[in-house]
Structure 1
Amino acid sequence: MMSRLKLPLYGKILLWFLVNLAVLALFGYVYVSKLITPELEWLLSGPPGSKFEHLSARLRDQLISKPQNGWLDVLERYEDRRGVTFALFSSDGQLVLGHAPDPPEEVRKSLIDKRRAEPRQRPQRPEASSQPPKPRFLLRSENPTRYWAGIHMDILYEQGDFWHPLTMVMVSSDVSANGLLFNWTPWAILFSCGILFSALLWLPVVRGITEAIRRTNEASRRIAAGKFDVRLSDTRGDELGELATSVNVMAAQLGDYVAQQRRITADVAHELCSPIARMQMALGVVEQRSTPEQETYLKKLDNELQHMAKLVEEVLAFSKAATLPDRETAETFDLRELIDQVIAREAPECEIRVIVEDLNFHTLRSALDRALGNVLRNAVRYARDIEIHACSQNDRVTIQVLDQGPGVPADSLARLFEPFYRPEAARGRNTGGSGLGLAITKRCIDACGGTVTARLREPAGLIVEIVIPNG
């Protein structure tokens, strides 16, 4: 299954802005398409019309400066340079010079000028007609789509003994006529500059929003990790400022609640120590006076009392682990030496493979000692073929405890370090343990400023990985 594409909030806002512009452009295109009817004279009423007139005047000047047998060369040069078709039509709608296709009927009607349709016989060739040029026209024909732009010129063409008034016609497959009638480039540049300017204009606002959300998200992650001292700046006067205030209040209340819960847990565990000790002393007295028939029951009672005492001891250790940074200071020590001490204490009879770099480690020694001890004790209790790897990279030390035991269900990995959590499918209570060992490990590693995670090992087993900054 493909993962969902993650897009930053600013990217989403900018994308939505571009979609908005695209919708507006589509509406504009549809609107303009409705306006572009076969009668397009209105397009020649502004700068395009003046540009077309100037083009016609330049062509006329070049034509009258050359003999008639060179006019076709002039038109062909214009076609090559402009990328559209140029042609000269007589005032009766007939093609005189050029390679234009046959004009449709609506175009032919515009070509015919009844006031100039009659050819005139003259003794000499005039350079221009005495009549002013007629208005321009711009039409569209279908099947195929062509645009016909024409203007009546004040120039005559000699054919036989007669002089014919001419009309210059420009034929193009698009309305822009390669920029002669309409140039898209300035509009594209203006559109691009508008997008860029809008993006820059939105940048401070969107960046402020995304930055506030990023800080809130980061604070939420730290609160979820138990860092209840996180506080956000709530100086914004909008909903994000209100959200920051709510997160600060929530963090303070959660911190007070958890601190109170820890105090109660520690106090209860501490208070249980005395009655359990008195019960053990009383049980010892009773065992001295017990009969053989009562001895079995008293032994079971003693086992339960020992289990309770161990559980209370671990609850006290779990509560004290949260205050390790306040009670202890970091020190520099040899990591290999510490690991050897933990192995000698927790697994003296087990053969454990150790691959550890020689390095000096600066952190809370006793906290790391307790954490490694709990992880190793867990591995020895449930697994075999245990290995310990440790290395340093980028000022961070990574310690891995690997085993080839039964592992745990994949959906239990995220909860292994929760207090009293026991994945029953793999490890039952009859194997021992209170479910607090890995929770204490997490508290100890948190006190060192590091992280501890667990993942399954192939083909079987578990990998517990500890990462702690060195120094």
Structure 2
Amino acid sequence: MRLRFDSLFGRLFGVLLLAIILAHLLAFAWFFHYDKPPHPGPPPEFAHQGAGPPRSGPPPGPRPWFGGPVVPLTFQFVFLIVAAWYGAKSLTRPIQRLSDAAERLSEDLDSPPLEENGPREARQAAHTFNLMQRRIREQVQQRSRMLGAVSHDLRTPLSRLKLRLEQIDDSRLQDQMRQDLDDMIGMLDATLTYLHEQRTSEALQWMDVQALVESLSENAQDQGANVQASGVCAPMQVQPMALRSCINNLIDNALRYAGDASIVLEDQQHKLLIRVIDHGPGIAPDKREAVFEPFFRLEGSRNRNSGGVGLGMTIAREAAERLGGHLGLEETPGGGLTAVISLPRL
């Protein structure tokens, strides 16, 4: 295997090899300087006579405490710790960069690309990630263009059909065909709205959520709907359009199937709970997650006269998730459905 020092393996191997070599060189130098053999004593024959040969100098003193193995072993330990720290940091830095870029990509497809620098493996991973991001963005743009073209091409014949309905003498048949055309146009508009919501990204802004809820309640009342708002909360950082879309869809869902709705704010230390309560037919516990799937319709509870194409709850949940929160469904005490939006305080 060819060793390349511009690769992560080459850098780690080089750092560890250098640390080991330096540590051993230091140990050899240390022991060579401090671990010399002691000065030989007097021969035995001189020792018995109580005299010895003339000495050239004073006897060697005791070896200092730092002349033993403690210091070189300590230096070896320090060198290896530094090399291990550098190696661990070199390994985790590219992974952390990829993780941060993936998180940004999940929030915004137009986020800046990842810088292609560092070791060879990190450059390859960054290049592959940027290529994936470009392909995803191109696919989303292509899908949007295709749906826009389909929408434009479909609206023209549908509009002509509505005009030609006036030439039909049978009023009952005319009403039925008009209803079918309205359903088709409604499904088309709802689908495009759903896809637009998926593509839209906003910056976080400080917002008075209580004022927004009261405004939505008053707007519904002006249109003749029975929507009440209660509770207080402090301003928080949200994506205004996403939050408005989420609450609006939940209000529309409650009005469609129950005829009235109540919005209750519950401000807690680390999160805000927004409950949209109705007293309609409710949803069975085993169906509550299924209603968040696109185009899912509950048999018996929805019909063409009630409106809706099965995207309102899907849009609401995805909007809540873009806010970093969660949308769940509970049973209303006494009967009905309660949608609970949980938003964390950042």
Shorter-chain TM-score category?
A: 0.5 to 0.7
Percent of matched pairs sharing the same residue: 17
Q: 1:438 to 1:191 in 2, by over 3 A?
A: farther
Post-superposition offset of 1:213: 0.4
- Of Structure 1 and Structure 2, the greater helix share is in 2
Post-superposition offset of 1:366: 5.4
Q: Does 1:253 align with 2:135?
A: yes
Aligned to 1:307: 183
Tell me the distance in 2 between the aligned counterparts of 1:421 and 1:445: 18
Q: 1:343 to 1:190 in 2, by over 3 A?
A: farther
Structure 1 residues 312-331: aligned runs within 5 Å: 312-321=188-197
Kept after mapping to 1: 8 A contact 2:227/2:263? no
Post-superposition offset of 1:252: 0.7
Matched residues, number = 287
Q: Does 1:450 align with 2:323?
A: yes
Aligned to 1:92: none
Post-superposition offset of 1:254: 0.4
Tell me the distance in 2 between the aligned counterparts of 1:352 and 1:189: 77
Q: 1:337 to 1:226 in 2, by over 3 A?
A: closer
Tell me the distance in 1 between the aligned counterparts of 2:248 and 2:287: 24
Specify the code of the residue in structure 2 equivalent to 1:355. Answer: G
Kept after mapping to 2: 8 A contact 1:219/1:232? yes
Aligned to 2:289: 412
Q: 1:284 to 1:440 in 2, by over 3 A?
A: farther
| Counterpart among 337, 342, 349 of residue 216 in structure 2 | 342
Post-superposition offset of 1:436: 2.5
Kept after mapping to 1: 8 A contact 2:272/2:344? yes
Structure 1 residues 57-96: aligned runs within 5 Å: none
SS of 1:455 mapped into structure 2: strand
Aligned to 1:24: none
SS of 2:289 mapped into structure 1: helix
Post-superposition offset of 1:301: 2.3
Aligned to 2:310: 435
Post-superposition offset of 1:247: 0.4
| Counterpart among 85, 104, 109 of residue 222 in structure 1 | 104
Give CA-to-partner distance per residue, 1:125-182, whole Å, 9 cap, x none. xxxxx9xxxxxxxxxxxxxxxxxxxxxxxxxxxxxxxxxxxxxxxxxxxxxxxxxxxx
Aligned to 1:378: 253
Post-superposition offset of 1:422: 2.3
Post-superposition offset of 1:248: 0.4
- Of Structure 1 and Structure 2, the greater strand share is in 1
Kept after mapping to 1: 8 A contact 2:220/2:226? no
Kept after mapping to 2: 8 A contact 1:265/1:319? no
Specify the code of the residue in structure 1 equivalent to 2:162. Answer: Q
Q: 1:367 to 1:240 in 2, by over 3 A?
A: closer
SS of 2:247 mapped into structure 1: helix
Kept after mapping to 2: 8 A contact 1:228/1:252? no
Q: Which has the higher contact order (CA 8 A, sep 6+)?
A: 2
Give CA-to-partner distance per residue, 1:310-347, whole Å, 9 cap, x none. 11222333344467669xx9998754343233224447
Larger Rg belongs to: 1
Kept after mapping to 2: 8 A contact 1:355/1:390? yes
Specify every segment of 5 or more residues in structure 2 that has no aligned partner in the other structure, as ranges.
1-34, 39-47, 49-67
RMSD after superposition: 5.2
| Counterpart among 128, 150, 160 of residue 268 in structure 1 | 150
Give CA-to-partner distance per residue, 1:213-270, whole Å, 9 cap, x none. 0121232233344534342121123222201110000001100110111122123223
Aligned to 2:274: 400
Q: 1:302 to 1:246 in 2, by over 3 A?
A: same
Tell me the distance in 2 between the aligned counterparts of 1:439 and 1:308: 19
Q: 1:468 to 1:421 in 2, by over 3 A?
A: farther
TM-score by length of 1: 0.47
